Structure 1
Amino acid sequence: MPDLPPRVLSTPQADAWIARLGAMHGPLMFHQSGGCCDGSVPMCYPRGEFKVGGQDVLLGHIAGDVPVWIGAAQFEYWRHTQVTIDVAPGRGAGMSLETPEGVRFLAHSRLFSDAEATALAAAGEPPRGQS
């Protein structure tokens, strides 16, 4: 089986903010729900502060060991895309850890190529949280 493309990446700028927030708050995690507040922006939380359940899909890890989860309904829309977590100046309207720092995390996406999509489909579904 060919190497699988990562479902999630992060920019160097996002990695720098993740390291800064990790130094302040300890181990981190991201969740993207497509729900309230800023909608479908990735929200950064101290790991364990957000309860991941059976309806959450693990996209992968960024900035070393920071897991990125997405709600199952949102994943169905985004399963054909590679998500890149980035950071931009400006305050978001959510409960994400970076909000008081004057920056906000955001997600960019690109469609997987046909070959990448085929390889991911052959690998099976990504892991889900525990019910």
Structure 2
Amino acid sequence: MTETLESPDRIAVRGLRARGRHGVFDFERREGQEFVVDVVLGVDTRPAARSDDVSDTVDYGELSDRLVAVVEGEPVNLIETLAERLADVCLASPRVVEARVTVHKPNAPIRHPFDDVTVTISRRRA
């Protein structure tokens, strides 16, 4: 008999930093800036807990490498688009059933004092 979960377990990577060239302004594309990414993944961690084997879970080091490659890669205008691409990377792992991705743009071109600009999206495996 297979157990069903009301809510999956969570694996999170928070504060992942990478330099990207995303934005609608030419200077953002030219100079680039730091982006910060948080991901929270819905994963059934029971197989990994039983086996004590990283191949039975999400390798967050490998995932972080793939996420940074997206941030450092092809520029997009909107952090909404960047967040969607990052969610696609998370959901490419067959163990991930859902992903919540937050992209922080702490140096967004705003003429007023502010702490942060973020976009958060949640996606589930179809």
TM-score (norm 2): 0.28
Which structure: larger Rg?
Answer: 2
Larger RCO (CA under 8 A, 6+ residues apart): 1
1 or 2, which has the higher helix percentage? 2
| TM superposition score normalised by structure 1 | 0.27
